[in-house]
Structure 1
Amino acid sequence: MRHTTQHYRVKSEKVLPEAEMVSNEVSEAIKKKDVSVESSLSPSMAGALSMWYPRLRSADEIDSFVSRFLASGGENEMGFSTTFSPQIIDASCQRGVFPLAFDIGGSFVYGPKLHCQRYLTQLQSHVKGFPTGGDDDEGVFMVKRLQVSKKYTRERNLSTRAASYDVFVNRKEDVAPVLSLIHAQHGENWLCHGLRVCLVHMFVNSERYRTKIVFTAIRRHRHDVGTDAKTESSGGSAMCNRAHGDHVEAGDLVAAEVGFVVGDIYTSATGAYCASGAGTLQLAVVGEVMRSVGCKVWDLGMGMDYKVKGLGCVPFPRKRWLALVFERSQEGALSGFIDSKLREEFSRGVSVRQVLK
């Protein structure tokens, strides 16, 4: 997962054109039966690209695609496809291939990435495949390592109405604001239009796919309407013109994340935040939420210092990672069970204090 050290500042007006764009595409993706997107890459360019990157033409080719990487023995991590489709993304995730996109001459193509190393941490101790040594804390997520600001862990207080915060997971009304905040912070990057609409489709049609998409939103609590209030009444939280240290209004979105579940492995894909200290809050909350619903492994992708020091991540070389995914994804109903628990327990909102207690 990409994690920014700089706090997001919106410099434009209250309603951002990009936020409207993302909101509109989410609405369309929910309505459509087929959200597949073909890249505008020319056949000649695709042919040239295939000389450097393995090409994935359909979901049925995912096993041979992975085999080509393993046979090469090199350090290449990227492949490509001119098609964005939920089926290809689902197949990629199930085989341990991360769903990305990259820009070729102004046109985004699907970029399935098979990392040379993935950085993982355990949400439960003694997971098979993790290092076993003298240090019981090695490779284990411990929320106490993260110094979450106390302002985010206050109890709800109806008398004073002091700021407190709630986490919502897999609430349909949060999908557009979550993606809008991510787009506002990172721009039209690897989580491009083609990939976004596929993830939205997989989320609203979760019963069709083994990979379960997860949207996490952290908001300031609204005392007047309760935790299950509609996002539309939350003050346009993904579009706030708020700088570092500015007041956070009730209902405002302060942090968001998109990820997915395969078996009992949760993978963080990307996230964003728009208040001081909310990035650390996001990590702490996501780890504890996923632990509580039965995820045993947290995959954070490429190695970064904060993942090792703050989250207890350890590196898994490519073959070891693929073996772990294969083993932990064999129980077909497990990811569905976790998805159901997330929706049942967190879609109406749970206080951050309760999650981090």
Structure 2
Amino acid sequence: MLMDDTGLAWIFRGDDWTACADTLTATEYPEEFALSTYLDADAVEGACLAGFMPMSSRFTVPVGFPYGEPESSGENPSGQDGQIRTFYTPKLHQLRYLLKPQDMGITATTRRASRHFMISVNKAFAETLAACVETHGDGWLTPPLTKVFMELHAGRSKRQVHFVSIELWKDGVLVAGEIGYSSGASYASLSGFYRLSGAGTVQLAALAGILAESGFTIWDLGMPIPYKSRLGGCPFLRHQFLPRVREAYHQSPGQALNLAREAVPVCLPCACTLQGCG
């Protein structure tokens, strides 16, 4: 790992992701993103296990720059000299919200609303991922990164990090969902969407119930957003959340749900999943 003239950390193929995260933490690295010279399934998995969250960004670089994934056109739309390239930019938050799934507060309104929905896991990963991109744009969910997510999801039973999707259905129509990843007894949310008012809240509540019932000890919610406090999440500084999530990565959750399994599970009534949560 090297620091460039702007103070950004560059991580190279062959670098130890955990050692990089530890160095950035020990030196109180003021940024939240690092730049990687490569983007593939191993880079994403390695970063996740070290405590980063996988993200990507586009930058304009000189023609012939040796790193980054080129855009299909290979041109800079601004007309300036250079090329737009996609870079893997794993995020090591200054502050991250963590939640014990069983501690999520669920209102009576949400419990009543849950009776009208079904929840599933890994039933429609591609559709859920596409809906997240459609909702939020491809600013960080770039095509090269989503391609790697698809690869990791397809091979999740052979990986230490399992990329999964959570889907909420009403009358057979996908109305909310999210993509995330699990390792050991930790689950991390990456991106979500909803197409029906209130559906996103029901999806989160149902997921909390699934995680609690399955023995997950940490729900990694990522960056600070007000609703995460309302869910019951607690903020942790970098030096605080890293040991917590890494410890959970080496724990085994219960056997009620195996997020890594290849078989597509049937849809479950949402109301059935809420019993393990507050």
Query: When the two structures are superposed, what TM-score results if normalisation uses the length of structure 2?
Result: 0.81
Deviation at residue 339 of structure 1 after TM alignment = 6.2
Give yes or no for contact 2:215–2:253 (8 Å, CA) kept in 1: no
Deviation at residue 120 of structure 1 after TM alignment = 0.8
Whichever structure has more strand as a proportion of its residues is 2
Q: Which amino acid aligns with 2:211?
A: M
Q: Which amino acid aligns with 1:96?
A: G
SS in structure 1 of the partner of residue 165 of structure 2: strand
Match of 2:248 in 1: 328
The reply to whether residue 294 of structure 1 matches residue 256 of structure 2 is no
Match of 2:228 in 1: 307
Match of 1:349 in 2: 267
Cα distance, 1:268–1:336 mapped onto 2, change above 3 Å: same
Q: Residue deviations 1:31-79, cap 9 Å, x none?
A: xxxxxxxxxxxxxxxx996743211122642133213312422421110
The reply to whether residue 257 of structure 1 matches residue 178 of structure 2 is yes
SS in structure 2 of the partner of residue 142 of structure 1: coil
Match of 2:117 in 1: 165
Q: What is the rounded CA distance, in whole Å, between the counterparts of 2:267 and 2:163 in structure 1?
A: 18
Match of 1:278 in 2: 199
Match of 1:142 in 2: 105
Match of 1:183 in 2: 133
SS in structure 2 of the partner of residue 109 of structure 1: strand
SS in structure 2 of the partner of residue 258 of structure 1: strand
Cα distance, 1:87–1:74 mapped onto 2, change above 3 Å: closer
Structure 1 stretch displaced more, 47-56 or 87-96: 47-56
Match of 1:216 in 2: 166
SS in structure 1 of the partner of residue 97 of structure 2: strand
Match of 1:340 in 2: 258
Q: What is the rounded CA distance, in whole Å, between the counterparts of 2:99 and 2:182 in structure 1?
A: 15
Give yes or no for contact 2:33–2:90 (8 Å, CA) kept in 1: yes
SS in structure 2 of the partner of residue 55 of structure 1: strand
Q: What is the rounded CA distance, in whole Å, between the counterparts of 1:335 and 1:81 in structure 2?
A: 31
Cα distance, 1:67–1:297 mapped onto 2, change above 3 Å: closer
* The one of 119, 126, 134 aligned to 2:97: 119
Cα distance, 1:341–1:64 mapped onto 2, change above 3 Å: closer
The reply to whether residue 75 of structure 1 matches residue 30 of structure 2 is yes
Deviation at residue 330 of structure 1 after TM alignment = 2.5
Identity %: 27
Match of 1:54 in 2: 9
Q: Alpha carbon RMSD of aligned pairs, Å?
A: 2.6
Structure 1 stretch displaced more, 194-203 or 265-274: 194-203
Give yes or no for contact 1:55–1:65 (8 Å, CA) kept in 2: no
Q: What is the rounded CA distance, in whole Å, between the counterparts of 1:74 and 1:203 in structure 2?
A: 31
Gaps of 5+ in 2: 61-83
Query: When the two structures are superposed, what TM-score results if normalisation uses the length of structure 1?
Result: 0.64
Q: What is the rounded CA distance, in whole Å, between the counterparts of 1:341 and 1:66 in structure 2?
A: 26
* The one of 187, 190, 206 aligned to 1:266: 187
Q: Which amino acid aligns with 1:202?
A: L
Give yes or no for contact 2:214–2:253 (8 Å, CA) kept in 1: no
Deviation at residue 298 of structure 1 after TM alignment = 0.9
